[in-house]
């Protein structure tokens, strides 16, 4: 199958867990061809460029969701009947569709029910979809949509909606600066509508579109479904809408801008969930968010992100019974609550003086991470002065700070092998990958009840409330004092991790999902002859030979021959009409 994989701020440009998951998926499904369509989110990603791709993947398109977009001059746009009035017609259509989109967002934000044909939440969802796809059709007809989204007409539409009857008081108080800021942020969010990804060499030629979020990455998939009938699969390990609620932007937005953008993202997520053939959340928390945003539970299928268990296979089953080493791994950041862990360790040392704590990990993406690590180092030095056996010996601190990748630092497998208990102290956590690795190693764990921790642990470890150093210290003391209990929990944890959280189970799940969704459209995209005129599917309507290239293309990609296209005219050759034998020949 040909898979159109659409990413936002990740593979193949960015590193991190999202990049590694996509890399494992593409390499694990070597029997499928992946056409990557990447949306970059900052200048650093474009400057760094894409990473090396497997043989079964190619970068079919990339586009920035940041910075200015060159304005398309009117004389370069396609000419329509009516000559000089073509630009006016496009602007009138833009105003109509953009007004539908913005009005639906404002009504969603207000939580009020409109009257007439557009009554109720379903009516507002239909109005949002009408505006969204109307803008897409306008861009496909040749209009310069990015320029229109930052035009005076866009600002006037926003002003009319925000100051109109029924709008929230916060929107009615929007100033010109707020309206300009809103259009500046809406344009990149809608930029995928105007990309050139929808031709034969792009998403028109794939059998399945796989979006890695319900945000901007879902827009190309929605258009592929609308234009060509291509099934859409949406995978979310972290719900983009939830991240929008939790993220503190570098440049704080005003209240009217926040309200409009939040309503837009909610409406886009709801439209994505409504149109997707299948949605694969990475855990129960993501699933609950998707259901609350209107996703049909029948089309939700939880697929846990996989981890490679191979590097941890040689780790011994358990640490020595008399050891008392705690290991914390991860990316250091304020939300990991290492300060609370250090206070819990100080209380634990009163009961277990021989206990040691290894904090192993680099800095997280949080801009405050470096300062937070320095604060933790200072706190450790204050709580645990260097202990020396005599006046001449150098003291040692029971708390060590290490970083993976340093010449003297251990590998992750060595770090977990040294652990008597693995601890996670986060106040905010998504999917706890470090716990999965510890479970692969058969280690007992103590974790805070946040994110997907309870779902991952499943009774194979101890869980305490977040930001509660006393409870954390008591749980650690209980496990350090009971080797048999540690061994039982560690063995159960390893069995659970190998059953649910390996790369193999993740790849096997998506292999089955791809085949399942591909079987729903066996003739290929609807726009290429997979359905009859009445919309009834026509299995095998497009033969395999239609995928053969008609000739070299600028991108080197295969192009569908004219004879294989729905409604295409037969091409005369010296052997007769293409698609039928010449006179006197037998096939």
Whole-model pTM? Answer: 0.81
Query: Residues in the chain, how many?
Result: 587
Whether residue 317 lies inside any domain: the answer is yes
Predicted pLDDT of residue 570: 41
Q: 517 and 495, same structural domain?
A: no
Write the secondary structure of 500-559 as one string of H (helix), E (strand) and C (coil). Answer: HCEHHHHHHHHHHHHHHHHHCCCCCCHHHCCECCCCCECCCCCCHHHHCCCCCCCCCCCC
Whether residue 421 lies inside any domain: the answer is yes
Predicted pLDDT of residue 390: 52
Identify the sign of the CA torsion 483, 487, 490, 496. negative
Place of tokens 């000089």: 84
Domain boundary at 194, 211, 238, which?
194
Beta strands 278-281 and 325-329 are unpaired
Predicted pLDDT of residue 424: 97
Print pLDDT tens along the chain (587 aa): 999 999 998 899 987 777 889 999 999 999 999 999 999 988 888 888 898 999 999 999 999 998 876 554 444 444 443 333 348 889 999 999 999 999 999 999 887 444 443 445 778 899 999 999 999 999 999 899 999 999 999 999 999 999 998 899 999 999 999 999 999 999 999 999 999 999 888 899 999 999 999 999 999 999 999 999 999 999 998 776 777 666 645 457 899 998 999 999 999 999 999 999 999 999 988 899 899 888 999 999 999 998 999 999 989 877 776 789 999 999 999 999 999 999 999 999 999 999 999 999 988 777 889 999 999 999 999 999 876 445 554 457 899 999 887 777 789 999 999 999 999 999 988 889 999 999 999 999 999 999 899 999 999 999 999 999 999 999 999 999 999 999 999 999 999 999 999 999 999 999 999 999 988 764 544 444 444 444 455 444 444 444 444 444 444 444 444 444 444 444 444 334 443 444 433 33
Q: 410 and 337, same structural domain?
A: yes
Q: 290 and 232, same structural domain?
A: yes
Beta strands 2-8 and 33-40 are parallel
Domain boundary at 142, 167, 194, which?
194
- The CATH number covering residue 282 comes to 3.40.50.2000
Predicted pLDDT of residue 246: 63
Whether residue 289 lies inside any domain: the answer is yes
Q: 494 and 525, same structural domain?
A: no
Whether residue 149 lies inside any domain: the answer is yes
Distance CA 212, CA 218 (A): 8
Whether residue 566 lies inside any domain: the answer is no
Whether residue 567 lies inside any domain: the answer is no
Q: 463 and 367, same structural domain?
A: yes
Q: 496 and 408, same structural domain?
A: yes
Q: 203 and 57, same structural domain?
A: yes
The set of residues, in sequence order, having a beta carbon less than 8 Å from that of 556 and lying 6+ positions away, is: none
Give me the number of domains the chain comprises. Answer: 3
Q: Domain of 462?
A: 310-501
Q: 316 and 221, same structural domain?
A: no
Domain boundary at 149, 171, 194, which?
194
User: Are 7 and 212 within 8 A, CB to CB?
Assistant: yes
Q: How far is CA 60 from CA 35, 57, 206, in A?
A: 5, 9, 11
Q: 146 and 225, same structural domain?
A: no
**DSSP assignment letter at 364:** -
Predicted pLDDT of residue 117: 39
Whether residue 222 lies inside any domain: the answer is yes
Which residues in 70-184 belong to E strands, given as ranges?
none
Predicted pLDDT of residue 530: 45
Predicted pLDDT of residue 531: 47
Q: 211 and 330, same structural domain?
A: no
User: Are 377 and 394 within 8 A, CB to CB?
Assistant: no
Q: 170 and 51, same structural domain?
A: no
Q: 205 and 58, same structural domain?
A: yes
Whether residue 87 lies inside any domain: the answer is yes
Taking CA 432 as the corner, what is the angle to CA 215 and CA 415, rounded to the nearest 5 degrees?
135
């Amino acid at each position: 199958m040909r898979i159109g994989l659409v990413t936002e701020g990740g593979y193949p440009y960015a590193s991190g867990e999202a990049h590694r998951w996509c890399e494992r998926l593409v390499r694990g499904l070597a029997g499928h061809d992946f056409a990557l369509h990447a949306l970059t989110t900052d200048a650093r990603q474009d400057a760094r460029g894409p990473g090396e791709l497997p043989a079964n993947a190619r970068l079919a398109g990339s586009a920035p969701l940041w910075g200015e977009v060159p304005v398309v001059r009117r004389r370069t746009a396609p000419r329509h009947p009516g000559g000089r009035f073509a630009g006016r017609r496009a602007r009138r259509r833009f105003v109509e569709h953009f007004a539908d989109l913005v009005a639906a967002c404002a009504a969603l934000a207000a939580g009020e029910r409109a009257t007439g044909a557009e009554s109720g939440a379903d009516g507002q969802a239909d109005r949002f979809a009408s505006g969204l796809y109307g803008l897409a059709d306008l861009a496909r007809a040749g209009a310069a949509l990015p320029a229109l989204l930052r035009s005076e007409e866009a600002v006037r539409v926003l002003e009319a909606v925000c100051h109109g009857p029924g709008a929230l008081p916060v929107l009615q108080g929007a100033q010109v600066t707020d309206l300009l800021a809103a259009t500046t942020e809406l344009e990149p969010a809608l930029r995928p509508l105007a990309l050139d990804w929808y031709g034969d060499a792009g998403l028109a030629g794939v059998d399945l579109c796989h979006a890695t979020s319900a945000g901007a990455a879902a827009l190309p998939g929605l258009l592929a479904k609308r234009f060509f009938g291509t099934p859409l699969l949406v995978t979310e390990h972290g719900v983009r809408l939830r991240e929008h609620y939790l993220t503190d932007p570098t440049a704080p937005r005003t209240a009217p801008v926040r309200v409009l953008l939040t309503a837009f993202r909610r409406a886009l997520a709801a439209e994505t969930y409504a149109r997707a053939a299948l949605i694969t959340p990475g855990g129960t928390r993501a699933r609950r968010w998707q259901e609350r945003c209107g996703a049909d539970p029948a089309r939700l299928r939880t697929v846990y992100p996989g981890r490679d268990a191979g590097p941890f296979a040689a780790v011994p089953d358990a640490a020595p019974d008399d050891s008392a080493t705690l290991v914390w791994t991860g990316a250091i950041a304020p939300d990991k609550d290492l300060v609370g862990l250090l206070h819990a360790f100080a209380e634990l040392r009163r009961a277990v003086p021989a206990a040691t704590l290894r904090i192993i990990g680099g800095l997280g993406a949080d801009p405050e991470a470096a300062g937070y690590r320095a604060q933790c180092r200072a706190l450790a030095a204050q709580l645990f002065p260097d202990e020396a056996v005599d006046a001449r010996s150098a003291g040692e601190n029971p708390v060590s700070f290490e970083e993976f990748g340093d010449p003297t630092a251990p590998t992750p497998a060595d770090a977990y092998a040294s652990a008597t208990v693995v601890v996670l102290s986060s106040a905010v956590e998504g999917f706890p990958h470090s716990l999965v690795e510890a479970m692969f190693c058969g280690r007992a764990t103590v974790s805070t009840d946040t994110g997907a921790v309870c779902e991952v642990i499943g009774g194979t470890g101890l869980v305490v409330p977040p930001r509660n150093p006393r409870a954390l210290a008591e749980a650690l003391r209980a496990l350090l004092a009971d080797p048999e209990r540690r061994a039982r929990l560690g063995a159960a944890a390893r069995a659970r991790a190998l059953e649910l959280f390996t790369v193999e189970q993740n790849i096997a799940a998506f292999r089955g999902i791809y085949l399942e969704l591909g079987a729903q459209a066996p003739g290929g995209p609807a726009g290429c002859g997979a359905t009859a005129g009445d919309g009834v599917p026509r299995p095998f309507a497009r033969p395999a030979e239609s995928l053969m290239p008609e000739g070299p293309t600028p991108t080197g990609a295969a192009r569908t021959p004219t004879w294989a296209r729905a409604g295409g005219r037969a091409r005369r050759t010296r052997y007769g009409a293409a698609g039928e034998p010449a006179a006197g020949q037998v096939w």
